[in-house]
Amino acid sequence: MSSPDLGGVVVATALPYRADASAPAGLAVDYDAYAAHCRWLVDNGCRGVGPNGSLGEYSSLTDEERRRVARTAIETVGDDGIVVVGVHGPGSHQARRWAEVAAEDGADGLLCLPPTMYRANRGEVLAHFEAVASVGLPVMVYNNPIDTKVDLTPALLGEIAAIDNVVAVKEFSGDVRRVLEIREQAPGLDVISGADDVVLESLLMGATGWFAGFPNVFPAESVRLFELATAGELEKARALYEPLVAAFRWDSRTEFVQAIKLGMDLVGRYGGPCRPPRGPLTGEHRDQVTADMRRALASLGVG
């Protein structure tokens, strides 16, 4: 039986590709490299991984690739962590099907946006999450009003929280005031920080997890930040956090996938290219990410 607790540091995993002229956009998923990355994250103290999120470029994958990515994470992590699979889809029938597939393959939980290509109203949002939650796995709903144009407000989350198996919300509005408001209006719902550049503020106000981007780059240090924040060691947490925030801000920008992959390259991991519609960073953006990463790495005594 899966645990309903989806907290801790769960990394929204970036996905490596290798050149292959016969693959979509000339890039084939490198499953072996992905498995090694998932293992590295868990070995460095992360609670688990989240395949097929936006950072994992799920919308650029074929159905076969998308399922195999999730299976790779599940098989690699095994009993050493949790795997929270992204089941985002344009409609509830698609999202529910991805949830059923994730359950068949052994996922511990699901991450789900509202309908991804339609500005759903309240009733449609509730119906969407009811369909996904009916599969039986713990569900973390995902509030990303920037991308979906649907805002899961604290009041709406109060209603969503009444759905069986909905256990958490990944909060990506960037408004840290919401942490307490969600806890007031949906007291049974765990609040998970979804934006790296407000993670400390969110954890100090009661968030119980971090569904994270930049821990793809420095997982052990990110786990240390989470532990300091949840232990209330504010001075130490701030000292670790402040030099990282400039890099973390890229997690909330349009080019976040490219920026995090570049960060991985800069620390000697493999980030590599993205599939369309994401192209390479502009020279200006690449220079800024590099500068922000160098500051972060210098503070950590790396590089």
List the end-to-end C-alpha distance of the chain, in Å, as a whole number: 43
Helix (H/G/I), strand (E/B), else coil: 218: coil
| pLDDT given for residue 37 in this prediction | 98
Residue 92's φ and ψ, nearest 5 degrees, are: -65, -30
Find out whether 69 and 52 touch, Cβ atoms under 8 Å: yes
So what's the pLDDT on residue 205? Answer: 95
> Measured between alpha carbons, how far is 277 from 262 in angstroms, rounded to an integer?
17
User: In terms of pTM, does the model score above 0.75?
Assistant: yes
Which positions ≥6 away from 175 have C-beta within 8 Å?
none
pLDDT tens digits, one per residue of 109-150: 999 999 999 999 999 999 999 999 999 999 999 999 988 899
Residue 4 above 80 pLDDT? no
- What CA–CA distance (Å, rounded) separates 85 from 110? 5
Q: Are 39 and 76 in contact (CB under 8 A)?
A: yes
- Rounded distance between C-alpha atoms, residue 221 and residue 105, angstroms: 31
pLDDT one-digit tens code per residue, 168-189: 999 999 999 999 999 999 999 9
